[in-house]
Structure 1
Amino acid sequence: MRRRFIFEGLKENLEKVFKRLRSKGRLSEEDIHTALREVRIALFESDVNYKVAKEVVSRVGESAKSEKVIESLTPSEQVITILYRELVGILGESASLNIDPNRQNFIMLVGLQGNGKTTTAAKIAKFLKGKGYKPLLIPLDFKRPGAHEQLVFLGERNGLPVFKDSSGEPVSAIKDVVSYMEEQGFNIGIVDTAGRKEIDTDLMDELKIVHEVLKPQETLLVMDSTIGQGALRVCQGFLDFVDLTGGIFTKFDSSAKGGSVLSFRYVTGKPVKFVGVGEKIDDLETFEPERLISRILGRGDIQTLVEKAQKAISEEESVKLLKKVSEGSFDLNDFREELQSLAKMGGISSIASYLPFASQMKLPANFSDDKMTRKMVAIINSMTKEERENPDIINGSRRERIAKGAGVEKYDVNLLLKNYFNFKKLIKNVKSIDSIIKFR
């Protein structure tokens, strides 16, 4: 199945509102009032807290009035711009971790049980290791059976050191780990605390003590993106006992509505710092509010797409690609390699979701990136060496033979070749790698 953008439902609902606004040309105050009511409903249906949705819409309404939107030449676009500005204002700017490389740092993860704290701890350690830090995973979850073993497993599997404590008591373990980090040269300790099934006073008192003894530079609340309207209660529950510095949302690649992410900053006054976008150890991304809101409002997120391309396609591969195209030697063997590079970037549907006006690129609900890639590769593999190197010779009879060999319809072969020639034409018109593949 294709990967779904977590705010896809909200995005689609807002696009309907914007489409109606654009169709009107000049807008009346009643048009704007109706549109904002629909925006508020769309936000609420996406699990954005009612107070947050109401305030956003109120701000947009006031700004639209003061900026005399109804008198402008492009009122609908101005409304969208104001909504973008207010949503970004709610979420705030992106925020990095508060880390001093010249001292000992602690990142304390708190949250309800089952929200992904342990896995997130390992992901953060891998992320920081890639930045040149020396992280140490510290399991302080002595409540959940197997929690310690899970963190040790994740650490060993990914080359991440884990502190091994035998005391079974959080405060005692903290005292031991401080001296251990100094002896071994670790500069960041990532603390996995015991999860709470609910906001239980006794357990929260224990968490408060751990926080006071540890004095972490970061205390991050890990929350499941599917939590919905319950986010406000959970946030407030933890704020009553510890000073949060930010949040992390897991399952950001799920089909959840995602509104809790918009509510977090409003309730806590703290930024979301990371989002988990998959089960793999590298599936952790810094949270970029402006980019997220841009995608929600249908403006795309080219910058993130560029970063994905930079990770998937090396500079050497990019230069090689352009050289082949400029020399006229880019063939179906090369196209097959590019298809595999697209797969590394999340596939066609993932890439499309980052593009402006992605809603116009309607993919079937059952569309599968893996299935599509396998089909196209199978078609290319069904060709002879001569056909792959000289696609122009593939006539009608050859296409029928290729389709039969790949177990597909002739239409699929035609579509593949059309995509190949379009891709080749697109790249040929690019003057430099900066324009499309690398964007450096």
Structure 2
Amino acid sequence: MRYRGILLLICLISYTLSGQSYDVYHTGDTADATVVPSRGIVLMGGAGEHDAAMRWFLQRANGGDVVVLRTSGGSGYQNYLYAQLGVPVNSVRTFVLKSRQHSYDPQVIKYLSRAEAIWIAGGNQATYVNYWKDTPVDSLINHLYNIKGGVVGGISAGMAILTGFYYPALTTSAESNTVLNNPFHSSVTLGMNDFIQIPILQRVIGDTHFNNPDRRGRLITFMARLLAQKGSPVLGIGAHEFCAVTINDSGIARVYGEFPKYPSDRVVFFRLSCDTPQTPEVLASNTPLTWNRGGKALKVFIAPADTNGSVSIDLNDWKTTTGNGYWEDWYVVNGTLYTTPNAIAPTCSAFSGLNTSESYQYHLSGVFPNPAPDKIWINSFEPIHYKLLDAMGKILSEGMYYPNEAIDVQWLPAGIYLLQTKHASYKFLKSK
């Protein structure tokens, strides 16, 4: 690791809200950087950060401000992100949010709004869901990526919540052998496009620490359940420990690790085969899963993860690859997972047959920021008509919203309002 030849000062601030304090660690400039970031995503397997992927993350912040989110732990990312990787940034600020109430704190909203990069630390994804879902925190993560065009990333639990489909681990941890033999076991809890909204990952579920313990069976079970509920395509990414995936704005995913020094370093990409039907033959409570389809239920791309990120896959079709990765066929019979090496690569896009209107469902996922001090954005990639209503349903204004153009709400008194579109109504708080 490289170090800057400067003395770093990490400032600890403790804020108290509703009788409970949360911690903030700050390093660098206190003034907001005025830079233009580059959109990107980093998904990291969980045992440790990969420096090359983290440099890529910081480079996309373009010298801006980095915010680290966590619900436990301390200042461990401060020196690492600000000095040790050799990529200059304006500041690094870590929020250790210890309750759901802290997600509404004005300081949290202020600095998340300013960020060019947001990193989600490892921890407990159930806590992240309980504390951040449907609060300004998830709204501002979505705003950074979709509207501001910044970079987001996470490791372990932080990776687990960044995909559109996600495993919140709200009960006990799901184990592969258990859920393969009972896909409706109580440990299988699934979230579906109601938290972090990243379009390229809308139909994806991710899993971490993929090789320790063996989580292949549980990710396949998650995909089987999601396919039954949401229809194809359903996709999966399993990141081994110490491995990372970077995804640029064009949808190209590259994998980083220490292969061949560590032969097990890899990231595994799951998709359905081109043949129909694609659904499991047996998917029932208290019954072992069978998802066979002639031994070709799942097409799986094995991507050895090296330090140069030389293996890639195009997430626009999940079939175009570079480097020395290879395909396998995976299937499950009576609760037992089987793999077939040296499989033929898929010839069709993973999105073949996707309804056109469904592909736009993720375009409108809410309004940001929430609370809103003066301006508000709709997370839409297309122009859309809106109406602004007060809490009693009276129309206060209406007009056309255009992507990346804010709606002025500075004139509104503080209070609760509704923003109504043809798709849905969104409640937001106008702050003072």
TM over 0.5: no
The structure with the larger Rg is 1
Q: Considering Cα pairs closer than 8 Å and 6+ residues apart, tell me whether 1 or 2 has the greater RCO.
A: 1
Q: Determine which structure has the larger helix proportion and give its number.
A: 1
- Normalized against structure 2, the TM-score is what? 0.32
State the TM-score, normalized to the length of structure 1.
Answer: 0.31
